[in-house]
Amino acid sequence: MATDSTGMALVTAVWPDPRDADRAVNELLGTGSPVRIDRLNVAALVLTRDGRLRIHRDEQTGKGALVSGVLGAALGVLAGSPGWLLLGGGILERLAGAATAAGMDPGPLRDLADQLPAAGSAVIVVAAVDAVTALHRELTMLGGDVTVQHIDPVVVQGTGLSAAVRYDAGDVDGDVIAIRRATDGVFSHSTGEPSPPDHSYRSGL
């Protein structure tokens, strides 16, 4: 994969505390950060104790999440990993399919899906390759467990990933985009037993 200064990378960081990802995003987007990150290229995720994956909402509109196409594809790969139920599919599923068909390796994001602890949080950032070192350093200083995945420019070219997209899972508990499954269903932490997934989702896309 391309690693020159004109390329892109996915930088992810994981924390055991559900509040840390939002704090990290606020730091990255703040004026004191040494890294300049576009708001559309960063998302905070929280995995609740009952297995619901929540995406940081767009505070300016209060509805959905406006993200870059590359970030949307990454979210689709993660939330569509084995053992997860991607709610509604829709645009995240299409972006993920386009990216993986163009050669994006889903392995690192699926590893993130496996490793994300219940009641933990994560940040996914799409960054220029020449910003990765500084970004890695800052997220590490914020206590995150950081990984980097370089993205071949071919994945972005001709796949429609260069445009911004809005994903809104508002019909299912606000900002929930996926549910982590147990072997025989969605794990219920209140009962300790698997329970069937909620099929009430209606895609608003």
67-125 residue pLDDT tens: 888 998 999 999 999 999 888 657 888 889 999 998 999 999 999 999 999 999 999 99
Each residue of 109-165: pLDDT tens digit? 999 999 999 999 999 999 999 999 999 999 999 999 999 999 988 888 766 677 788
DSSP code for 26: H
pTM for this structure? 0.80
The domain limits of the chain are 8-195
Distances (CA, A) of 54 to 96, 97, 143, 166, 173: 18, 21, 21, 15, 9
Contact 164, 73 (CB under 8 A): no
Token pair for residue 87? Answer: 């709610």
Q: Which residues contact 49 (CB under 8 A, 6 or more apart)?
A: 118, 119, 189
